[in-house]
Structure 1
Amino acid sequence: MDTNYMTRVALVTGGSAGLGLALTRALAADGWHVITDGRSPEKFKEAELPDGVTTILGDLTDGDHREDLRIEVERHGRLDLLVHNASTLGPLPMKQLSGVDIADLTQMWRTNIGGPLVLTSLLLPWLRVADGVLLSISSDAAVNHYETWGLYGASKAALDHVTLTYGAETGLTAYAVDPGDMRTAMHQDAFPGEDISDRPLPETVVPSILTLLDQRPDSGRYRAEDFA
């Protein structure tokens, strides 16, 4: 495995919108080569991503798509940062746990936990050689309990656990990061018809994530605001 490339390489899932897009742009501007994915070619076209970004269309729950991502990492020869950003709120409108069925659970688990878990395993060889960082985007719903957020919160709590266990098992630096509320399409979906213009844009959260990566504290769960 040849890692003698000077350019740092990151893989950010779900980079066509929201925090994933903002982080992809910021890393590219800082000289990283960023591999990112998403399901919508229209969103990527609207995003007008800069040079230094490779986009791969597909769904993280699909094995062939995950293999495409692995092949792209192999082509670049290294991986310094893996960011699990892509996620789903599950069926909309969001509902109380008493209304959740197995199909809802399966959809949520495959996207928010299953995809990230198996993708991490695929990419471990490159992360280990580069002494890279594994970072998963969490939520305060992973530790607090809000009506209708139970299924999503449980999936994020599980993602936190999986991420930090990977760190414990491999020695990689691993972070679960709660970005706080943001003005994104996903957040709007959670509050249909409500004005969420008071929430900060995802671009305001990115500097905190970059500071975390720069300071590289011990593995653990952090809030973005801790690094503001």
Structure 2
Amino acid sequence: MPVAIITGASKGLGRALARALAERGWDLVVDARSAGPLAEAARELRGAGARVMALPGDVADGAHRAALVAAAGELGGLDLLVNNASALGAEPLVRLAELPVAGLRRALEVNVVAPLGLIKEALPLLRNSSYFSYPPSYEGEAPYIGDAPFRGDGYPTEAYDPHPYSENSQNGDLSDSHPYVGLQGAVLTVSSDAAVEAYPTWGGYGASKAALEQLSAVLAVEEPGLRVWWVDPGDMRTELYAAAVPDDDDSGRPLPQAVVPALLRLLDGAAVSGRYTAAEPLPAPDGASSR
């Protein structure tokens, strides 16, 4: 069975994605800072059929990150790392003139340093994954028509490209081998349009997400065998947003479950590394969307 690590999985988008993967037969390593809600989430995931290792802790703690990766190894490896845990830096959000330096430091530690640390811990297992060598949609014969490579649903008609998944990584040093050979695991990082748009009071959080997106972009270039996706999930009704803007009426915002199908399409399509918005994650990376 494929294995995923999902941080911040006790609620919101992390829990919704974990449930969807559990229903698909994935085994899971999940974390959150609060042990009670995480244990509740783990019971739900086990009820959906998954083997689950639930480790409460702070992703900013290097020992905790190492424990998450070790737990994935115990389950058999690692095919997908989801960096979902986030910190706002101030609750509610404030203008930069009032943003505590300690709050910005916390946002950078959780939103940037911790994901990089977790990626570094996980790279040996991710490099050893063969999940995308035969994507979920693969059945029987290799999905080609003549010289055209498989790119998801349906059959393309364009001329053969020996590197169909590398255009976003700008790699010029890949061999002309079968495009599935050497494909490894995936890193899915939850970002925000605050990383690319200037919204009042979102400066500290947005700066941390912008740094995270740049790290993701560089990782995609440096690790061409991995799928690296940084995704703006769009507006959601979550506790994080309520803490950020408590006076805002979020009743019209969709629940996190509505975003999950877009994330699953990235997996199912073995999407090229890049920035995506949940509104339309395939076939090509997109620019900014909404928080």
Same fold (TM over 0.5): yes
Q: Does 1:168 align with 2:221?
A: yes
Corresponding residue to 1:136 among 174, 183, 189 = 189
Question: How do 1:1-228 and structure 2 match up within 5 A?
Answer: 7-47=1-41, 48-51=43-46, 52=50, 53-130=52-129, 131-171=184-224, 172-227=226-281
State the distance in 2 between where 1:77 and 1:134 align.
17
Query: Which of the two has greater helix per residue?
Result: 1
Task: Give 1:49 shift.
Answer: 2.1
Aligned mates of 1:227, 1:120 — CA distance in 2: 22
5+ residue gaps, structure 1: 1-6
User: Which protein shows a greater Rg?
Assistant: 2
- Give 1:3's aligned residue: none
| 1:172-225, Cα deviation, whole Å (9 max, x unpaired) | 110100000100111111221332110000001001100111112211100011
Overall identity of the aligned pairs, in %: 46
- Quick check: 91-100 or 172-181, which moved more? 91-100
Structure 2 runs not aligned, ≥5 long: 130-183, 283-291
Q: How many pairs does the alignment contain? A: 222
**Partner of 2:44: helix, strand, or coil?**
coil
Using the alignment, how far apart are the partners of 2:264 and 2:91 within structure 1?
32
Q: What is the RMSD computed on CA atoms of the aligned residues?
A: 1.3
Provide TM-score, normalisation by structure 1. Answer: 0.93
Please say which of residues 29-38 and 94-103 is displaced more in the overlay.
Answer: 94-103
User: Secondary structure of 1:225's match?
Assistant: coil
SS at structure 2 position matched to 1:108? helix
Q: TM-score, normalised by structure 2?
A: 0.74
CA contact (8 A) 2:38 2:56 kept: no
The DSSP-based 3-state class of the residue aligned with 2:92 is: coil
Aligned to 1:4: none
Q: For the Cα contact (< 8 Å) 1:56–1:69, is it kept in 2?
A: yes
